[in-house]
Amino acid sequence: MIDAQRPAPPQGGFSARRLIGIDDLSDGDVDYILRLAEYYAGYLRRSAPAPARLRGKTQINLFFEDSTRTNLSFELAGKRLGADVINVPVSASSVHKGESLVDTAQTMAAMGADVMIVRAKEEGLHEALDARLDCAVVNGGAGAREHPTQALLDAATARSAFGGLEGRIVAICGDVRHSRVAGSNARLLRRLGAEVRFVGPARLAPPDDQFTDIERFDTLKDGLAGADIVMGLRMQFERMGAEFGETTGEALRDEESSRRYFREFGLTHETLRYAAPHAKVMHPGPMNRGVEIDGALADDPDRSLVLRQVFYGVATRMAALDALLAGDAD
Ligand code: ASP
């Protein structure tokens, strides 16, 4: 059945065959996923069953790193489109018997996967899998490098609040250095016409040779000036290692340092006054209330888009899976 509201694919068709980084997507692909996300958001808002575009397809979720939102959201997205979705319980898998991650994934794929959603701290793993597997590889988080569906869902959320990103100022705040969310958003949101800034302590900014054309600020006052969207990030202690000297992670982890960090870089109703009067706050979760964001701001429905991001997570992942896997199927 033809659905009149369903957005048309990009001219020449959807081009991506995998989704490991934002640059796997053409501008037409991005636009299609965002329009399709809005279309699926309509079904989710009405609690209406979506077309079973992935019936007969098998989706395997292979998360080698912790995940709550992303794993669940991919699972729901696949199920809402009629796919068979399998979650691999990695902590009980043969990885703990010494099997390599590639061998584990290859074994899963041999059972007949059409798509594998992979999260891992190893940054080259997704490319290695893409070279070896016949199924589509989708990145559910790669080390500190990329989390493309998070950026897509953030863009879909921002579009729903502001109509578009062209000319909007987005301040990405906090531990940018260790954040794959920051990396993917910086790549995507600029392609959509936004001005992106990084805001936070200098030692949590990306290395000098990365994102050289993005302006960095080390105070909220300057970095938030005029911003439409203020995106908070968690302190990602799990990725702070030798590069910082072993003390940085530890130094930031104790209570007194958290309090100090909050005083200087915490997103609150008060610090949000530096931004544009209509500014909204976003956060990919999980949030550490009282460290990078105040609970009262995170919970304020007039200022916070945090739960809307979670909602768009399902719709956007439905869109991405559909675009990658369903082709022109009715
Ligand atoms: N959930 C996001 C990620 O997986 C952000 C975070 O963990 O802080 O990267």
Residue 242 has a pLDDT of 57
Work out the average pLDDT over 190-199: 98
Instruction: Tell me which of 146, 179, 185, 235 to substitute to probe ligand 1's pocket, judged by most ligand atoms within 8 Å of the beta carbon.
Output: 179
92 has a pLDDT exceeding 70: no
23 has a pLDDT exceeding 90: yes
28 has a pLDDT exceeding 50: yes
Question: How far, in Å, from the CA of 180 to the mean position of ligand 1?
Answer: 7
Q: Is there a contact between 173 and 232 (Cβ–Cβ < 8 Å)?
A: yes
Specify the fold of 149-299. Rossmann fold (3.40.50)
Lowest mean pLDDT among 3-17, 59-73, 84-98, 117-131: 84-98
Query: Does residue 187 have its Cβ closer than 6 Å to ligand 1?
Result: no
Query: Does residue 147 have its Cβ closer than 6 Å to ligand 1?
Result: yes
d(CA 62, CA 87): 7
Q: If we measure between CA atoms, which residue out of 45, 30, 105, 87 comes closest to residue 323? A: 30
Query: Does residue 153 have its Cβ closer than 6 Å to ligand 1?
Result: no
Residue 101 has a pLDDT of 87
Query: Does residue 141 have its Cβ closer than 6 Å to ligand 1?
Result: yes
Q: Which residue has the tokens 């990103």?
A: 165
Work out the average pLDDT over 276-304: 97
Crossing angle, helix 101-110 and helix 125-132, to 10 degrees?
A: 40
Work out the average pLDDT over 151-155: 98
In eight-state DSSP terms, residue 83 is: -
The amino acid sitting at 104 is T
Contacts by residues 75-79 (CB-CB < 8 Å, ≥ 24 positions apart): 76/314, 76/317, 77/314, 77/315, 77/317, 77/318, 77/320, 77/321, 78/54, 78/317, 78/321
The model's confidence at residue 36, banded by pLDDT at 50, 70 and 90, is very high
CA atoms within 13 A on the CB side of 228: 16
Work out the average pLDDT over 132-158: 97
2 has a pLDDT exceeding 90: no
Please state, in angstroms and as integers, the Cα–Cα distance from residue 85 to each residue in 20, 73, 74, 241, 330, following that order.
Answer: 20, 12, 9, 35, 21
Query: Does residue 183 have its Cβ closer than 6 Å to ligand 1?
Result: no
Work out the average pLDDT over 293-317: 98
**Residue of higher predicted confidence among 32 and 327:** 32
108 has a pLDDT exceeding 60: yes
Please state, in angstroms and as integers, the Cα–Cα distance from residue 138 to each residue in 27, 62, 183, 218, 314, following that order.
Answer: 18, 10, 16, 34, 15
Query: Does residue 234 have its Cβ closer than 6 Å to ligand 1?
Result: yes
What mean pLDDT is reported for the chain?
A: 93
d(CA 32, CA 80): 19
What does CATH list as the number for 22-143+310-325?
3.40.50.1370
The model's confidence at residue 100, banded by pLDDT at 50, 70 and 90, is confident
In eight-state DSSP terms, residue 171 is: E
pLDDT digits (tens, 9 = 90+) for 243-258: 555 445 555 677 888 8
Residue 328 has a pLDDT of 59
Work out the average pLDDT over 45-58: 97
The model's confidence at residue 91, banded by pLDDT at 50, 70 and 90, is confident
Residue 246 has a pLDDT of 43
Kindly state the percentage of the chain with pLDDT values over 90: 83
d(CA 297, CA 225): 18
Kindly state the percentage of the chain with pLDDT values over 70: 93
Q: If we measure between CA atoms, which residue out of 169, 158, 138 comes closest to residue 75? A: 138
pLDDT digits (tens, 9 = 90+) for 211-225: 999 999 999 999 999
Which residues make up the CATH 3.40.50.1370 domain(s) of the chain? 22-143+310-325, 149-299
**Residue of higher predicted confidence among 5 and 30:** 30
The amino acid sitting at 268 is T
